[in-house]
Structure 1
């Protein structure tokens, strides 16, 4: 059931997430999570600023009511689950921009002033790293 994943900064995308609040798939029959994962991977491959961020897929993050959910994580840092994204390039870019700031932070805390506009209002859960809790 488990498979090895990148051990550095990463964005884990729910590949089975719905496309939106009212639609499971888009007009082409693609789920929102799969569409978002493709956009994230494309940006990560084509823009060097995102080269350190691994983009990985996982079926179901169990955030089904929130659709298009992602988990931003890095070793030894507080991680975050975000959702309710429209699976488009703007959302993918905002997610990766936040992941870059997150990876550069000491403990996973990114100053609000550095949050891309596209992630504001999308945070669902804060996840402490193994062996720690946040203060």
Structure 2
């Protein structure tokens, strides 16, 4: 059931996500999650700034009502689930830009002033890393 991947900063895309709230697939019959994973890989390959961020995908993050979801994670850092994206390169770039700042942060917290506009309003959950709770 589990597949081992490299342990580091990663954007995990749900490859079975709906295309939009009201559509499972796009006009070509492709799921939004598959398109988002493809866009993330395309954007990552286009710029060496993203070299430290892995793009991974898996079926169903169980955030079906929030379509086109991704999980941002790194060892010993708070993780985030974001969703309600349009599965395109503009959204992928915003996610990866945020992921770079996230990977550079001490505990996964990126100051709001540094958030790319494209991720604002897309956060669904925040999850503590194993063995920790957020203390604020």
Q: Same fold (TM over 0.5)?
A: yes
Q: Provide the rounded CA distance (Å) in 2 between the counterparts of 1:118 and 1:46.
A: 18
Partner of residue 17, structure 1: 17
Q: Which residue of 1 aligns with 2:90?
A: 90
Match of 2:112 in 1: 112
Q: In the alignment, is residue 76 of structure 1 matched against residue 73 of structure 2?
A: no
Counterpart residue number, 2:123: 123
- In the TM superposition, residue 41 of structure 1 has moved relative to its aligned partner by 0.7
Kindly indicate whether residue 55 of structure 2 is the aligned counterpart of residue 58 of structure 1: no
CA root-mean-square deviation: 0.6
Secondary structure of 1:16 counterpart: coil
- SS of the equivalent of 1:61 reads coil
In 1, Cα distance between the equivalents of 2:64 and 2:129?
23
Distance 2:84 2:22 in 1: 12
Normalised by the length of structure 2, the TM-score is 0.98
Q: What is the TM-score when the length of structure 1 is the normalising length?
A: 0.98
Once residues 40 and 7 of structure 1 are traced to their aligned partners in structure 2, the CA distance between those partners, rounded to angstroms, is: 19
Query: What is the Cα deviation at residue 6 of structure 1?
Result: 2.1
2:35 paired with 1:35 = yes
Which stretch of structure 1 is more off in the superposition, 37-46 or 65-74?
37-46
- Residues paired across the two proteins, number: 135
Structure 2: gaps spanning 5 or more residues:
none
